[in-house]
Amino acid sequence: MIIAIDGPLASGKGTLARALALHFGLPHLDTGSIYRATALVLIKNNIDPNDKAAAIKAAQNLDMSNIIDSEIRTALVGAGASVVAAIPEVRKALFDFQRNFASNPKGAVLDGRDIGTVICPDADFKFFVTARPEVRAQRRLKELHAAGDNITIEELTAQIIERDYRDANRADAPLKPTETSIMLDTSDMGIDEVIAKAIATVENHKS
């Protein structure tokens, strides 16, 4: 069984993906982490994420084996990830890694922006997770502050607007639901409720 979960920044897709993977005993890939890791290579080497040639090279040579999670979770790396993710050759370089993960005989849960549309168009379940921008801003602010990132709500709101726009309007693999996506607006739901709803949907429809 393949479960695809897409949605914008801090919509709750990562938490939902981890919970579904645990519940159904499936491996989980947070595909945002590979775009973040690509951006981190550039940032660490003082290279602008807009430098296409360098971004493509970083994606082609990406080694996920020694990624430190806290290093890729910063707001700066998130913003860089969205920039490199708009480069078609970067997406192409990271495609096989994601497809290989999804071809695990057990199945898999993948979360990102283009899982239902490009990476796993034949997924058994496609969830599209959203929440109002101001709710997402508060969630992400809490996470970043807990991790020691001193970003302000104003800076973060500006980043969210920019990142949402770039992710949804790029030419290659923009963030969008498919005709069969199950829409989940998590703005007014606790995470336990979101997880229970998604599990019930899968339980009720899986063959």
Q: List residues binding ligand CDP (CB under 6 A).
A: 9-10, 14, 31-32, 35-36, 78, 81-82, 85, 112-114, 163, 167
Q: Report the SS3 class of residue 171.
A: coil
| CB contact at 8 A, 207 and 125 | no
CA atoms of 189 and 144, how far apart (whole Å)? 21
Min dist CB 15 to ligand CDP, Å, is 10
Nearest approach in angstroms of CB 82 to ligand CDP is 4
Degrees, nearest 5: CA angle 139-141-142: 65
The distance of closest approach from Cβ of residue 203 to ligand CDP in the complex, given in angstroms and rounded to an integer, is 26
Query: Which of 107, 174 has the CB closer to ligand CDP?
Result: 174
| Least distance in angstroms from the C-beta of 3 to ligand CDP | 14
DSSP secondary structure letter of residue 187? T
β partners of residue 109: 3, 28
Integer angstrom CA distances of residue 136 from 8, 74, 103, 160, 164: 9, 16, 32, 9, 11
Of 85 and 102, the one with the shorter C-beta distance to ligand CDP is: 85
Residue with Cβ nearer ligand CDP (176 or 197): 176
Closer CB to ligand CDP, residue 32 or residue 57? 32
